[in-house]
Amino acid sequence: MSKQHPHYDVIVIGAGPAGYVSAIRCAQLGLKTACIDNWSNNKRQSSLGGTYLNAGCVSSIALLESAKIYHLLNHEIGKHGIHVENISLDIGQMMQRKNKIIETLSAKIADIFAYHGITRIHAHAKLINARQVEITPLDHSAPSVIQSGNIILAAGSSSVDLPCAPVDNEFIIDSTAALNLDCVPKKMGIIGAGVIGLELASIWSRLGSEIILLEAQENFLPLTDQQISREAYRIYTQQGLDMRLGARVISTKKSHKKVTVEYQDNEGQHCLRVDKLIVASGRKPNTENLATAETNLVLDENSFIHVDENCRTTLPGVYAIGDLTLLGPMLAHKGIEEGVFVAEQIAGIHTPINYDILPSVIYTEPEIAWVGQTEQALRAIGENIKIGTFPLTASTRSHVKGSPDGLVKIIAHADTDTILGVHIIGAHASELIAEAVLAMEFSASSEDLARTIHAHPTISESLHEAALALDKRTLHLPAGRLIP
């Protein structure tokens, strides 16, 4: 007989960005809240933050910062008249720095939980019915049951497995293992040239690996604006990334501490031999064993939880947020907004999310960021649009910083001048996109952005210049040299 625990107003399953933010907002609103999460660090201790913090975006960004410094010292620092010798690489120390950042940020979440009185449970959780959750301690001791008036499912996602490349995390590795290597592979293959594959390639190529990306799709970054994806392909290829599109992996074989990859493209079958092979072919929702069959929680054919526009599942009082649903892309900030939205909904506050202006970011170097619609999508529906672009080669600050690659693109309605999409590739694109999101949130026109005073010289004024370019009046680039 399982032991009964106190009743809660809200139980949150998962402590990634969606889950921990939802728990915090619930507690802020006076709801008695418990958060169950099964992530354990290498010390077998609870580490809040989910994959995003412990083995995903934060880890990737931390390592990329280190890799950029190493690359700068080896290849760029001489341009500044600074000369260094005997540069060495300590991967162990680099990983320690990354892990320390994770520990610090996870501890901050734990402090916030404690401040708000959120009950934190380190265990596996399974939905039994619309009001009860079974918790199983990680030491496999007897399970118990806790109850709640509302349950929020925020269990996140995990890497997709490929039968042709079974992960052993020694030679064929997943993205988590790729962020914890103890040495720099001489030659590294990556299956998938999407967000995760490119971010990992940006790290290890700067640390000295020869990188070959095998992408099954014929088009590079098909969800981004095509002009941006073409520019990205040019820049990344120039950086030394070997990106092979239309390359479908058929099989892999491990021998003599190497991995032989057989793949097929339009020119036939090929073999590639690498020291490490990263499988970065997407992510799947963590819905397996999340609920008993008796709950009748409805999933789609890809195991995403079916929800309505208010993140409600088919079970009364049970919500699903973040990577578990198809409401918007798998992004940390999407999960955060849904976490707040559901918490406030439970408390009787309705603040809907505008998924149409949800920004997306690829944390490579340079970064890619966008919000709104792409040129190809707008032209496909026959929208009457106008476009303004500004290359960062014309940006004073970009030259001073030594990062002139990239461009800013603004798409506006030709009749109303409403901003429909903003697309950026360049240094700090993830920061620059915030201004565009704010402008679109308040239904700004491109003229509003053009008449907003930006400090000079800054990279952010490239947005200002792109807005001016819509009317062919950019100030720091002759109109005849605007990017078509």
Q: Which domains does the chain have, with CATH numbers?
A: 3-159+284-355 (3.50.50.60), 172-281 (3.50.50.60), 366-481 (3.30.390.30)
In eight-state DSSP terms, residue 73 is: I
Say whether the peptide bond before residue 457 is cis (omega within 30 degrees of 0).
yes
Q: What are phi and psi of 481, to 5 degrees?
A: -105, 10
Say whether the peptide bond before residue 366 is cis (omega within 30 degrees of 0).
yes
**pLDDT for the residue numbered 478:** 75
**pLDDT for the residue numbered 153:** 98
Q: How far apart are CA 112 and CA 91, in angstroms?
A: 32
**pLDDT for the residue numbered 1:** 37
Beta-bridged to residue 273, according to DSSP, are 260
Q: What is the DSSP string of 355-374?
A: GGG--EEE-SSSEEEEEE--
**pLDDT for the residue numbered 4:** 54
**pLDDT for the residue numbered 259:** 97
Catalytic residues: 456
Q: What is the pTM of this model?
A: 0.94
Q: How far apart are CA 143 and CA 133, in angstroms?
A: 10
**pLDDT for the residue numbered 177:** 96
338 Cα distance to chain centroid: 16
289: tokens are 């064993």
Q: What are phi and psi of 86, to 5 degrees?
A: 55, 45
**pLDDT for the residue numbered 484:** 43
Which parts of the chain register pLDDT below 50? Answer: 1-2, 482-484
**pLDDT for the residue numbered 42:** 83
**pLDDT for the residue numbered 44:** 87
**With contact defined as beta carbons under 8 Å apart, do 446 and 470 qualify?**
yes
Q: What tens digit of pLDDT does each residue of 362-377 get?
A: 999 999 999 999 999 9
Q: What tens digit of pLDDT does each residue of 423-481 get?
A: 999 999 999 999 999 999 999 999 999 999 999 999 999 999 999 999 999 998 875 55
